[in-house]
Structure 1
Amino acid sequence: MARRAASDDSLKENNSRVQGEAMSGVANGPVKREKRRVVPQAEDGHLAGPTALNGFNGVHDDGEDSNGEVDQEDEDEGGTPKGRKRVRVNTNGDGVPADFDEENEGDEDVKVRVKTRTFERDQDGYVPGSIVRVQLKNFVTYDWVQFRPGPFLNMVLGPNGTGKSSIACALCIGLNFPLAMGTETGHIEIELKSKPGRQNLIIRRNLSASSKANSFMINGQKATGKEVDLRMAELNVGVTNLCSFLPQDKVAEFARMSPQELLRETQRAAGDANLTSWHETLIGAGKELAQVTEMLTSDRDSLKTMEERNANLEREVERFKERQKLQHRLELLSLILPFMEYVEAKELYTATKEVQRKCHEKVRRLKERNKPAHALLAELAKQHTDYGRKRDKAKDASKAKFQEMKRKWAENERLEEEMTSLVDALDDLKKKEKRRISEIARLENENKMLQAKIDNPPETENMDMLTDLLVPKVNEKNAELQYRQKLHIEESSKWKSQVDSGLKGLRDLDDVSARKLQHLAGIDRDCADTIRWLRENRHRFKLEIIEPAIISLTIPDKSFMNAVEACFNFHQLKTFVAQCPEDYKTLNNLIVDTTEALGRKGRINTWFRPNSEHTLVGPPLSPEEMRQLNFDGYAIDYVQCPDGLLWYLKKELNMHRTAIALNGDRVNVGHAMGAVSRIGPNGEGGGANFIAGRTIHSVTRSRYGRRLPQNSTRDLKNARNLVAQAIDPQVKQKLERQVAEARRKLKDLEGEESKIAKEEQDIGAEGRAIATRQEEIKVRKKRVSDTLKSIESWRLKIAGNQQKLANHRAVNSAEEERADLKKRLLDCGKRRAKLARTYINLVRGAINDQTEATRVGLDYLQIGANKTALQNMVNEHDEAYQKAEAEYEKANRAFQVAKADSKEKLEISKVKLASCSDEVKEQFKEMEEGGTARDKTADEVQAEMETVEAQLAMNLVTNAGVIEQYERRKIEIGNLSQTIEQREKKLEKIERSIKSARDNWEPALERLVASIGEKFSAAFDHSICRWDAHSHRFSGVSCAGEVRITRHDDFEKWAIDILVKFRDSEKLQLLTGQRQSGGERALTTILYLMSLTEEARAPFALVDEINQVSITIVFSVSRWFNRRFRVWIPNTNGRFTTNSST
């Protein structure tokens, strides 16, 4: 057998790998080529029944034909016999398709089936489908090899890299596995045993490195992948069952199978061929039974509820009908009541009308009898009224005279006061004249004195000359010096600013935050300007506005830089985070909506959400799960930022749910995907992102169908925005040159500054001297100014006095004023005399008016007395009249009330009659015609109405649609009863189907598990489980194993439990992927697979790699199971030796 040096894949194999093949060929090593001897296979007799662990045929996956073209039917079936029904094995060991035996499936009388035979062996010991020969060319590690496995157990032992797993790959993988390096073509040729008397089946698959095109050949003839699949199905060969085919990477998976999966895989591999179909029938029928039972229970409950409701409705219907009768009676009574009230009101109206008319007639007669006396009384009343008006008129005239006399008296008193004041004025006239002459003399003397001062003023200097003494030369020098100082200060400030800006630029180059801001300004000017503005205007906000993550977020551990930045998109890196809604509105208003902040409208990203961390979905993995899956931590754990930004990172970016693993090779992506896609108890979760190495995984769940998890990946890019920007050397040199040049200019300016200071001192001294002279001149100017002001005030005083003199001289002389006062005094005397004459006339008129008023008053009193006497006499005669009139008023009021009441009740009756139904109107008409409508009074009708209303109150209100609902539900009850009857029949049919399938499946499964369990327990009884590494032998501790069925009401949860123990101190424990060690799981796997060999339906089985500890045990058990096996072991000289055991 020729083979290449061990490849990298081969070196990964364990030292304890075991395979069952016998090999021959030539190996090609990296240093030298060496040949290995092949020992011919012994022709020993064998026990009946196929063996496990002797290889498997690999079939193609994509179904390409011999010309490299894809067969459409093969594509649909996936290139494997998965979609095809398994062949069953009859009692003769012949393979028969499952469909051919379905007619016998429903035989309920067959309680115990004949034990199924596995396969019929030929004279050479092989069963149909066994691998007789395998040939490989340029496949994986082999240049060329051909070997013939024995008909029983075959084991290949050897160190890593000897090509044991390559043989297993050749038997199972087909098309898409790699060729050996440096070769263009290769092939896999497998020879399978056919039925006795037929030619063996030789399948050859040609492989090419240059393309995926390949071809199949069967017995030297070209064939398609589908034809190969059909031949494999006939021989019952398959790779999907771990009980028949257990490659290297599936050994651990077998132990991790759940007991339910183990039962299904065991059924597919061994026992009655119908076990799986029976089980699937039971599962499907069980689910259908549960559904039908649930629906039937629900329908029965619904039927019971509807029947109960209709039973209740029957009572409701009776009550409804009774209520309708009461309502009809009430409606009729409500029409009779206003009718009877109107009848009674009309009778009362007729009676009161008659009484009113009689009283009216009596009043009329009495009134006619007293009419003459009443006429005289009316005449006296008229006269009494006329004299009353005359008396009042005379009184008014007298009062007017007295008022006029009062006014004249007041006017006389006023004139008297005026005459007194005129007499007093005549007495004061002489004194006033003396005062006027004295004031004129004083003013004339004062004017002469002031004019003398003006004519002889004090000596004064020339003001113009004093002003010219203020020489402005010093001011000109000072202005020139100040201008030079200003230029010097501006120049000095300019260069100092250059130095400061350069030094600040150099400091900013050393400041990471400043470099980030400078870098951001080149990318997004608005964002950078907003950050600078915010730093200077923090007082305008209630809370701090968090700067974007590109500035405010740091990553202490730089190894996580790429992973953390991958959680952001560029817009999220530039987002400003507000911590309250007011600040959010203010920021958008100042930056985005107006030009107040930046001088222009900016475009920035802003974000605010109320902080409610209890609403966040928690991390998808617990800390323990993170450690088990080899994740380093969540993205949120590796950043430092303000607290306000943490809420944004969790809410918007889910960084608390993004797991990171720097070493992606240590992460099992499948397990991680399953963990992060779990759905929580409240429906939360279902997906998240995680980063493994240089790959970003986004796990989501489909929104439809089974909502399976989906994983999309993308490469992790290097961080560009969160890393600190490098210092630009050109920028640094430019800033350093700027600082040096500015400092040189400042040094030059220092010399010029001393010159300016010296000139400033000289000019200051000269200015101080001139200032002293200016103070003296100011004092002299003030003296001149004060003198001029005094002269001006004297002139104004003289002008005022002249005006006062003119006023005094313009006053009239005393004689003229005295004559005027006497004239006014005489005029007042005349007016008082006239008033006296008028007053006398008024007194006389008042006396006459008062006399007339007294006379008229006496006449008024006399007529009044006469009227009173006549009134008393008339009253005596009118007493009977008044009594009759009172009776009339009373009768008239009763008549009017009865009249209004009858009209109102008539209208009420009409309205009520119009609102009644036709049926009530007709019944009322019949009662009216028959006279029964008036059998009861209104009070009796009212009492009956109250009785009916009370009965209605006790009769609960029923929906008007109750009859319709009752009839509709009655129809629904009938339909639902038919549905229940149909489902009960269906339920009986399903139960019969379940009973039939279970009667066949359960005994067959029990026989199969009993057979497997018997051999499995016996195998443990004959094996030793603990390996002593020092003595290189097994210790004396016995193992124990048991296989049993776990039953459940749900047939899908039936299971096969494998219970094992490997220590004296422990009890039998369930085999799991975690409880037992790897060697214990491998041993248990081998023993279980060997225990089901006699019941197996596959012509061969394969297990790739069992550990070294289990090899001797397998030898021991194989002797007990089969009595025959062959072991191939490579010698130290590179050749294989064989060892056969019986």
Structure 2
Amino acid sequence: MHKRQKTEKFRPGFIVSVRVTNFTTYSNAEFQLSPTLNMIIGPNGTGKSTLVAAICLGLGGKIELIRRKTLKSMIKTGCSESTIEITLKNAEDANPEYLVIERTFTATESNWLVNNRVSDERTVRNVCRKLNIQLDNLCHFLPQERVAEFATLTPEKLLLQTERTLGTGHLISLHEDLIRLDSERETVKSELENNSSKLERLNVERQDLEAEAQKFEDYQKKSREIELHKMLLPYAQLQDLKERQKELKRQRDEAKKKLQNFNLTTQPLEKQIRQTDEQRRDIHEQLDKLKHRHSSLTTQYKQQTAQVREATDKITELKASVESLANKSERRKQEAEKLKQERQELEVKLRSVPEVDEEALKDAKKNRDDAFRELNEQKSKTQQLEDTMEPKVSRIRNLQADLKRYEAKLTSTDKLSVLEARGRPYNELRENALKGHLLLRENPQFQSRYFEAPIVSCEVTEKAYAPFIEKVIDNNTLLAITVPDQESYDEVSRLVFSKYNVPMRLALDEPGRLPVPRERLHEYGFDGYLSDYINGPPVVLNMLKVISKLHMIPVRKNPMSDEQFQKLITPNATGQIPFMKFVVADDFVSVSRSRYGSRQFFYSTEKVRNASFFVTGGLSREARLDIKEKIASVSQEYQQCRDEVKQLRQTADKNRLIYESVSKKLSAARVKVEELQSVRSNRAKLVAYISAKADRIKKMEHDAQKDYTEKVRQTEQRINDMFHTRATKSAEAAQTLSQLTMLSIDMDCKNFKILQEKNRITTLKKLIHSLDDYKKTLVEEYEELKRKYDEIKKSDAARKVRQQSENYTENDRTVLSSLAESYLSENNLSEAFIQDRIHFLEDERSVMATADQSAIATLGQRLQEIKQLEQRIPHLEEEKHKLDKQIDDKRAKWEPELSSIVLKISSAFQSKFTAVASDGQVELVKAERFKDYKLQILVKFRENTDLKVLDNHSQSGGERVVSTIFFIMSLQGLTEAPFRVVDEINQGMDPKNEKMAHKYLVQTACENDASQYFLVTPKLLTGLYYHPEMAVHCIYTGPFIESSDKSFLDFRQHTEVK
């Protein structure tokens, strides 16, 4: 068997073979691997890194580890799927001895087999974890795509990656536990400190609240006493009513007795009056019956007399009709003659009215219509001229306003124009700021609510310092509107933000103190602070100090010596520097401090460009030229518009004369038409009148020829009948009148008897009336006393007391009962006394010190918080003590072992690294927090330099590669990594270093069988060191390689190293 296939040297986790199908550039490839060093060489592009990619993907590694995005990119072009098969040595005493992991994948899915059994990616990763295969650890797996990433690892991450690869991984577990416990301890410690501070503050606050609560309690007691007396008022009122009721009952009973005695003396007279009144009512009833009979006869008599008059009137009417029929023919003849005479008069009048010539009327109408049409045409022309002239006149007014505005701008000191573009590139922030300022100026009610942007409201006193100030203040703040308080911010933002996105600043804080007094600035070589060279509204200046720190940044407009500059960035005895930012000449210097290690100061500089906003006061020269050009343009357009309007007005005047002439012509035509129409209308009316008269004449002549003799005889017969009817009705009326006369006599007798009874009653009443005054007095007195008594008796005071008492608590009723009894025993339970007592108590309360009612509630809350804190703090202290003990225990296990291993790594690294460089060390940097522990690789490639931390800034690419490979080799023997992969790490090395690194790598891999190594390189120098136990895999593929057949040379049979 080939010695690279001797399986007894393979340790758990070693890769025995790798086979791929349709993978990247390979259709089919198989790697039989050595348990020591496997060196894969071949020209660029032949697929050396394919082995590395196959190991990563075949063992469940993420595709991102080889810097690819999709599995599809790993499938050979033209194929739909690819297969990777990796054979691993299984764990000791495990069955089977070898694990064959096979992954077949397409662009979208993967299928896994482990020893020909269906599996999944999670199972494969669990196998790798048990064998300590760490594909995501750069110390174990360093593909070509991640070589540069190793040098960019932070010292903190390098330590974690190294711990993962050391031993069984227990150091990383301890470290992660320490980081977690340390974080928990910091949280507990912070909470403990906060709670202790809060408890101390609450105890002080409790004392103040207790005093405030006592004041409030005294005040409340007095208020309670007043409240109880007010609640007692209904009881006092009820007591007053009881006393009053008792007195009124006695007075009422006395008045009632007097009234009863008086009534006994006047009863006989009243009885006689009642009897007389009954007799009077009987006579009244008899009289009413007579009146009813008299009324009925009166109605009957009126009807009878009316019938007599009706018969008389009818006789008269019939007699007139007879007379009219006898004269009717003669009257019709007379009326016919009169109508003939009227018709003749109308015919004479008709002959005097001339006939209208219809052609003349038609011509007159045509002349009128033509004149009207011509007038409308002239009116349309005039309107067109006015429509043409109106926009030009409006434009003239606008141009006049523009001229005034531009001329005012030339003399204005308003700096708002600096926000206008004028040749600058479009800037949305500046445009919005300009529109926002204009919007606020259009709303003067906001004038006291805001201050305009610093570039508008502020002035730089010395223009030489303007660039420095603009450099320090950010653009948003330069263009920001400043408001003095939150209310102003809300109102202004509500207006501005609804239309434009304008920055706003609200700076209520006080600016920090000066880092160095002004009088000492010259000691550091500065002219002053930036805030010394800008003037403006105090609110705006305060905002600039708070936000941009103008009062804390010194400035020097001339260059500074190196000695002065070094003094500024060199810490003093307390480890501080005077200024973290300052301006010198055209440089803006920012000083920062490292957060790690020795916390050194470092600085960066930025060039200061020319000022754009603070260089001019008011308008710039360019702005003035721009405005003058606009004035010239507007003036030219203004004059042109005036000339055009003048010409249009002349044309309008001509049209107006034509319009007046046509209007007169139309008026004359209308008069002519109206005259002709009036004549034609009058003649038509006369013709109609004559025709109507002729019709009436014919009718009258026809009526005059009729005979009325028979009709006269019939009418005279009706007259005789009516005479007979009148005589009958007259006899009936006389009989009814006789009956009425007898009834009237009887009614007069009854009225006389009634009058007698009334006189008798009146006499009796006068007799009683003489006693009425005294009786009235007695009745009034009794009624008044009875009313007052009933009022008290029916008073709802008792009901109110009961209703109010129902709302009282049992304690309130007990206290009120006791209080009422005490006053009642002293005979003081009255409304007046209780009211006086309430006024007295209110006067006492008014002189008492008031207190906040919320003090008691706040005190209760504070006592509850104190109780909770007193319970919580011991628990936190105990929890911190437990965490301290856990951290100390784990630290005792972790830190000594880690320090010892780092010393071994550093010793191994230094012993090998000094062959290619001046010096090298690996250093464990301890910190207060476990998350801040670092592992630093310190290298020195030249004798006259100091050791520097390996990073991607301080060393060249070749130096970083050499340092990386020697660091990885120094881990040999300290880790239990089954294999390590290094892909093209020798890129950028010089030949000497490459040969030296290669030699140490070969010796490390072949003389120690703890790990299997894979070294991928595109070149092979002459004179390299080889070891009998290493294997060299030559990769040679390409489009000119023939397909495999029997004569195909198997390079694997010739790769054994003698």
- TM-score band by shorter chain is 0.3 to 0.5
What is the TM-score when the length of structure 1 is the normalising length?
0.38
Q: Which has the higher helix share?
A: 2
